[in-house]
Amino acid sequence: MSPVCGLTRALLGILLLLQPVLGIPAADVLPRAAASVCNGWAEYCSRSYSSVTFVGSHDSAFVGDLPQQNQNLDVTAQLNMGIRFLQAQTHHSLFDDNVLELCHTSCLLEDAGTLKSFLGTVKAFLDANANEVVTLLLTNGDSVSITEFGSTFSSSGIDSYAFAPSSSPLSIGDWPTIGDLISSGKRLVVFLDYGADTSKVNYILDEFAYYFETPYDVTDSSFSGCSIDRPSGASASGRMYIVNHFLDVDILGVKVPDRDAAATTNAATGKGSIGAQAAVCEALYNRAPNVVLADFVDKGNVIEAQNELNGF
């Protein structure tokens, strides 16, 4: 071994020993050299986050065959198939008010486990896939304090990946590229529908300061509309937007996910497809959707639809 190599190894060893004391970030979140492939495509590396269309998993954690469940694949499998936008509902645990659970409307109806466990699953994917950017959109059904969310993110260890913008809200034109997020090590973008406060937790962003949404609980299989539903009275100007492209069926006054229609709903093209509704939206707003949320992402052709919306 040359003297230079020996000295280099010695210095690296000292840095590793001192890492906890000096607060040096772990290797998995250190700034990296520019990636040549980002989220599976070289083209994403130079494209701003706000110019990418993601097909996202609606109620990503509610997996199974019951009427209230929205997905067939678990979260790891969704990520492995190419989903990079995960939406999930949160509520306080019925048994411990200090714990946040992933529950569908009520934890009595559907409880998919703790938010901390969910975040751990996403972190494991980020740990193993250094050139991927993932977005989380969480709902705050019990108006939980933002500091509780911050504590849960911190205890899971995923906060080290979280992107905090230089100003909040960040202008739609000022988002970094996917490549920039990867090279910075900040490969997780987090939004919360209600209760975000970046003065207290700077990486959990206010969804409706950044996005508007189209109507949800849609039972029209043609998906012929793309109006602004939330926030009420919002302008499309300056906001990204989310298309709620998941079909419900009304059973005795209760709307449940239409599992049987998923292959058609999630098709890339054709009547009622992802591509067809995205075209309606693009005609209204002169730009493609930023997010298209879907149930049963393993059905149809959601990744093909995502690629086509991004020009691939």
DSSP reduced 3-state for 69: coil
List per-residue pLDDT tens for the chain, 312 residues long: 554 445 545 554 554 455 444 444 454 455 567 889 999 999 999 999 999 999 999 999 999 999 999 999 999 999 999 999 999 999 999 999 999 999 998 999 999 999 999 999 999 999 999 999 999 999 999 999 999 999 999 999 999 999 999 998 999 999 999 999 999 999 999 999 999 999 999 999 999 999 999 999 999 999 999 999 999 999 999 999 999 999 999 998 899 999 999 999 999 999 999 999 999 999 999 999 999 999 999 999 999 999 999 999
- Quick one: CATH architecture of 35-309? Alpha-Beta Barrel (3.20)
Catalytic positions, please? 58, 104
User: Domain extents for the chain?
Assistant: 35-309
Kindly report the length of the chain.
Answer: 312
pTM: 0.90
Q: Provide the token pair at 193.
A: 């529908």
Phi and psi dihedrals of 125, rounded to 5? -65, -45
Concatenate the DSSP letters of all residues of 80-149 into one string.
Answer: HHT--EEEEEEEE-SS-TT-EEEESSSTTT-EEEEHHHHHHHHHHHHHH-TT--EEEEEEETT---HHHH
